[in-house]
Structure 1
Amino acid sequence: MRAIWRGLPAKRYDVGWEPGLVVPAGDGSPLVTDHYFPRADGDFPTLLVRSPYGRGLPWSPQYGVLFAEQGFHVVLQSCRGTGGSGGAFDYWRNEPADGLATVSWLRDQPWFDGTLGTVGPSYLGYVQWALALDPPPELKAMVVQVGLHDPHALFHSGRALRLENALLVGVGVAHQHRGVVPFAQAALRLQRRMRDIVGARPLRGAYASALGDVPWLDDVMTHPDAGDPYWDGASLARAAEGLSVPTSLVTGWHDALADQTFEQYARLRRTGGETALLVGPWTHTSALQQGWPEVFAESLAWLRAHLCGDRSGLRPTRVRVHVGGEDAWRDLDDWPPSAPPSPDATDATDATDATDPWFPTPDGHLTRSDPAAPAAPAGPSPVTPPALASFRYDPADPTPSVGGALLSRTAGPRDNSDLEAREDVLTFTGPALTEPVEILGPVSARLSVSTDTGYADVFTRLCDVDERGRSTNVCDGFAQLETAGEAPSEAIVPMSSTAHRFPAGHRVRWQISGGAHPRYAPNPGTGEPPMDAVGLEPTRITLHTGCALLLPHDG
């Protein structure tokens, strides 16, 4: 591992390994577990790492070895139904009980000193929140890296299917625990067949040619309503409410789970939990690759502080973020920095109402001054506000996704020039900036939209356009709208959060389209669920006056 990353701390201990230990779950299912430990006398705290992705690469060296070298026992366990563990894998129903059963087993181990922490990314974060629902007294610290707490939001945006997420999670959970070669073969098979799968009509069952029969995946894809009893107990948001276990959160601006991290941070802050937040220039996967030296240092400092009593590595501020556009780190007292979360806030987007609106104009410009409204005609007021612009979205030729907060290797900042040249993508661009504009906080869009079919998706994106005209995505959001007749539908669409500095000479661009495929399954335009739709109907989407891009105050 030290040949891959520079800047890792020096090894403190040689590492021992006990593979293949069997931990009994509450129902007797065997949970296969590996134990890494420092080869030295004395007591050391324990880290619990539970994973559905196997116990080999990258988990063994990256979590088992590296943390054991620093003076921790590391218990690396395969979730039930994966990696040789008994029982059947279920995306959420078994994790709270299985985590507690593992802690009960730990209490009987002669090397366990009664001090426990947890660490891990993605689903390995979900199992931490599951343990935190009823935290055992031994649990003294958590480090949730690019973590999940709400499976519904991983697979759906409102009722719209996050198609690419579903397929990539499916291949990971179904094959990664089988070993490097089988997983690589399955991932390559999915990549080769991706175009056919995401273009199939209907979508239901189309993934089987690449992934085989994955019953839980079919279930999560075909239950779009968060209120469906199917999702009962899936969200672990409540675990952060009143949690007394010190919790460090790590994400990246282009992490597919970034919004879930910001939500949990806000909950911890509102209820007084001890927490810290690190946000880097990373995607879901690059946080554990290019970003690993920073992520490991952050995680190690937090665990040493709360499990070993050594607070010397903690940074002085609660929040550290990477500011895009200037490629620099910024230490902040809170997130968002303009206003701390209020006691009655419901999510991260409530943390601030300090926004600067940028307004689109019919000629494609973006201005900070609200265009003068036309004089009201005599007689009754018109029912429909004037149109700004319109475009035709064709689900048979869906607008492609380019970069952004994805799980795939194509995630992150990308050149949007080819995308913006399409006729089904609108852009509104501000003038060249005479001085830098800095935004730190949640971004959103106020939309007023009508359609000729009554159904539409709207994908809205903030971009930074440099002096050469290269348009790079900063953050984005998605909404599924239904309109009645000619009356527009009005909505505030969250576009995630960012810390970004637009240099002088650059321009702010607002991009709007009818989708981002295959990140989201295309809206068929017929009102049918995308998983079952066979017929497709193009939709004319019209923006009306009243739209605005809402950026947090700069400076």
Structure 2
Amino acid sequence: MTSFATVVKGLATDVCLPGGAGPFPAVLIRTPYDRTRHLAQGRGWARRGFAAVVQDVRGRFASAGEWRPYENEAADGAVTARWIRRQPWNDGRYVAVGASYAAHCALVLALEPEGGAEARPDAVIAAVPALGAADTAREPSGVERLLARAGWWAAHGDRGDSEEDALGRALAGDPGLLAHLPLTGLPGRLGRALPSWAGLWQRRERGRLVCRAVRAGVPLLAIGGHHDHFTEDTLALWRAWGGPSARLLLGPWAHGLVASPGPDAGPAHRLVLGELYARWAQRALAGGLSPGRCGVFGLGGADLWLSADTEGEPRVQRVRLLHGAVFTADPDRPVRSDDLDVPAGGIPDRCLLATPPLPRPVDAAGPVRCRLRAAADTPSADWAVRLVALAPDGTAERLALGVLRREEPAEGEFTVEMGRLARRLPAGTRLRLEIAGHHFPAHARNPHTGEDPVTAGRLLASRRKVDPASVTLTLHVLPSRPHPIDPAKEILR
């Protein structure tokens, strides 16, 4: 094995070559998170016969230039891809690989037209993909993902290196940091310049890469987690992919995948992802994957894997009102995303409903949605619907969440989509449904004035009314015990 460092058009690059004469297929990883942290990953690819190329993106760590998130990756990646294909150690083939922002770098090489055919990878591995600035900043309904974006920009935005816990330290000094208005003033409260912060919220071109994925011409392996904030984007990418084959691996993990398992992950969900990636890449480059779209997802709480085509039958769960048919959504006292406790007494801050205990175990596999008739007395209103599992021992765990922004009319019947659930719910579990006006600090507070929540300088309380008889909670439930699938066999077939 041989390793060396070089510079490609100002971009700091490390190369790790397998032993032997070569030439070899290559793997390209472009990252804003410091290429030196990928040394072990590069060596792992080299041990499996790939030339691993790891690069700092423009303006980050050892690479020259100005760091502008999501702006230069297609052009810079194309320059690097053409350079790889001209090296004597490359056999003319390469796989674009990445997780989170690095997955964005890999995907634009396959989907953006800047580089042409020579720059296009022969296959793509995209884990927990950050599809673009607008995709990461907002929910499909337009609601702002405040906490995740504030944390990322504080750690990585507008700087050449990273300060991983910058937001955490700032919150320790000022727990109300994210509550100050306007949100565009956050950089000043952090004590550093973040010129791209305000511009982030002006971007609304969500779905660009998913639209382009329909015309993809190479194989895809998409990896995500049920507890990741990009789960729906991962699924949308896989479903839209128009290449010769598309594979999905979706486990009971958070953004760090197997390194951050959810509370419902079991021993069967502890896959060795590096080995699976390499075997898939070898088969993809050899043309050995069967055409079409397939994959697997882990059923949380059940320690098994199911085919990605598995989906339960829609079943409406009976819910009864506990309290709060009329409540006040006060942005000065918002329902918090980091607290599952429900306050007792006082003016209700949410509508609270619950199911009876489940008489038998339920395997929920598929979308979750809540239908309701409700009204707000303000020109703009967010409706945050949270589903919580209450175990027989009294512990609470969030299962699903949906946030919908509604402008006028203030009253009506509507559906809040709450993502996909893949979970075995034990007998005796009660499901608690919370309907609120805020989900803070995960999401920005709607000021209820009709102003942009990012630039608003004042907040109003909003009186809400929910018709309890109209509320339906729909889960997709498997009618019988599911047939387990071997994830490696499904991904590699």
Shorter-chain TM-score bucket reads 0.7 to 0.9
In the TM superposition, residue 176 of structure 1 has moved relative to its aligned partner by 8.2
State whether structure 2 residue 325 is matched by structure 1 residue 389.
yes
Residue 283 of structure 1: aligned partner: 254
User: 2:63 & 2:193 partners in 1: Cα distance?
Assistant: 20
Which position in structure 2 is the counterpart of 1:36? Answer: 16
Q: So what's the TM-score if we normalise by structure 2? A: 0.86
- Matching residue of 2:232: 259
1:60 corresponding residue in structure 2: 39
- Equivalent pair of 1:144/1:248 in contact (CA under 8 Å): yes
- The aligned counterpart of 1:319 is 295
Counterpart in the other structure of 1:505: 428
Quote the Cα distance in structure 2 between the aligned partners of 1:211 and 1:307. Answer: 48
Residue 109 in 1 paired to residue 82 in 2?
A: no
Shift of 1:277: 1.0
Deviates more, 1:294-303 or 1:67-76: 294-303
Secondary structure in 2 matching 1:450: strand
Aligned equivalents of 1:531 and 1:272: distance in 2?
38
Match of 2:314 in 1: 355
Task: Return the offset for 1:355.
Answer: 2.2
| Cα drift, residue 495 of structure 1 | 0.7
Equivalent residue in structure 1 for 2:142, among 159, 181, 186: 159
Instruction: Point out the more displaced range, 135-144 or 111-120.
Output: 135-144
The verdict on how the C-alpha distance between 1:114 and 1:243 changes in structure 2, with shifts beyond 3 A counting, is same
Q: Deviations over 1:264-316 (max 9, x none)?
A: 11112xx46411111111111244556884332332221121235787xx9xx
Alpha-carbon distance between aligned partners in 1 of 2:452 and 2:95, rounded to the nearest angstrom: 43
Rounded to whole Å, the distance in 1 between the matches of 2:196 and 2:256 is: 23
Following superposition, the deviation at residue 490 of structure 1 comes to 2.7
Q: 2:156–2:163: 8 Å Cα contact kept in structure 1?
A: no
Moved more, 543-552 or 160-169: 543-552
Q: Would you say 1:238 and 2:214 are equivalent positions?
A: no
2:186 match: secondary structure: coil
Distance 1:551 1:97 in 2: 44
User: Is this contact kept in 1: 2:298–2:304, CA < 8 A?
Assistant: yes
Partner of 1:337: 311
Q: Work out whether residues 31 and 79 of structure 1, in 8 Å CA contact, stay in contact via their aligned partners in 2.
A: yes
- Of 170, 188, 192 in structure 2, the residue corresponding to residue 212 of structure 1 is 192
How far apart, CA to CA, are the structure 1 residues paired with 2:449 and 2:315?
Answer: 36
2:67/2:159 contact within 8 Å kept: no
Task: Give the aligned residue type for 2:122.
Answer: K
List alignment gaps of at least 5 residues for structure 1.
1-14, 25-29, 339-353, 365-387, 404-415
Deviation at 1:526, TM superposition (A): 1.8
Deviation at 1:518, TM superposition (A): 0.8
Task: Please give the alpha-carbon distance, in whole angstroms, between the structure 1 residues aligned to 2:470 and 2:395.
Answer: 28
Distance (Å, rounded) in 2 between the aligned partners of 1:246 and 1:471: 40
2:428, 2:435 → 1: CA distance? 23
CA distance in 2, matches of 1:47, 1:166: 29
How far apart in 2 are the matches of 1:69 and 1:31? Answer: 25
CA gap of 1:23–1:288, structure 2 versus 1, over 3 A, is farther
Deviation of 1:197 after TM superposition, in Å, equals 2.5
Three-state SS of the structure 2 residue aligned to 1:113 is strand
What do residues 123-146 of structure 1 show as CA deviations (whole Å, max 9, x unaligned)? 111111111124635622211001
| Letter of the 2:216 counterpart | L
Aligned residues: 463
Give 1:425's aligned amino acid: R
Counting aligned pairs with the same residue, the percent is 27
Structure 2 CA distance for aligned equivalents of residues 176 and 18 of structure 1: 26
The answer to whether the 8 A contact 2:253-2:260 is kept is no
Please state how far the C-alpha of 1:209 moved relative to its aligned partner. 3.3
In structure 2, relative to structure 1, the CA distance for the partners of 1:189 and 1:470 (3 Å cut) is closer
Shift of residue 238, structure 1, vs aligned partner: 2.6
- In structure 2, C-alpha distance between the alignment counterparts of 1:77 and 1:489, rounded to whole Å: 52
Structure 1 SS opposite 2:163: helix
1:211 deviation in Å?
A: 6.1
1:97 aligns with one of 75, 79, 86: 75
Q: Which residue of 2 aligns with 1:519?
A: 442
**1:55, distance to aligned residue in structure 2 (A):** 1.2
Shift of 1:47: 0.3
Q: Residues 45 and 308 of structure 1 are in contact (CA less than 8 Å); yes or no, is this contact kept in structure 2?
A: no
Q: RMSD over aligned Cα, in angstroms? A: 2.7
Report the residue type matching 1:119 in the other structure: V
Residues 1:136 and 2:117 are matched in the alignment: yes
Residue in 1 that maps onto 2:488:
none
CA distance in 1, matches of 2:450, 2:212: 36
Q: TM-score, normalised by structure 1?
A: 0.77
Matched, 1:451 2:367: no
Correspondences of 1:415-426 after superposition (within 5 Å): 416=340, 418-419=341-342, 423-426=348-351
Who is 1:547 aligned against?
A: 471
Q: CA deviation at 1:187?
A: 4.9
- Aligned mates of 1:87, 1:433 — CA distance in 2: 58
The 3-state SS of whatever aligns with 1:147 is coil
Deviations 1:431-462 (A, max 9, x none): 12222221111112223220122332111122
Specify the SS of the correspondent of 1:103.
helix
Is 1:38–1:69's contact at 8 Å kept on the other side of the alignment?
Answer: yes
Is the CA contact 1:201–1:533 (under 8 Å) kept in the aligned structure 2?
yes
Whether contact under 8 Å (2:220, 2:243) holds in the other structure is: no
CA contact (8 A) 1:189 1:210 kept: no
- CA distance in 2 between counterparts of 1:298 and 1:66 reads 12
Please report how far the alpha carbon of residue 184 of structure 1 lies from its aligned counterpart in structure 2 after TM superposition: 4.3
Report how far residue 510 of structure 1 moved.
Answer: 1.8
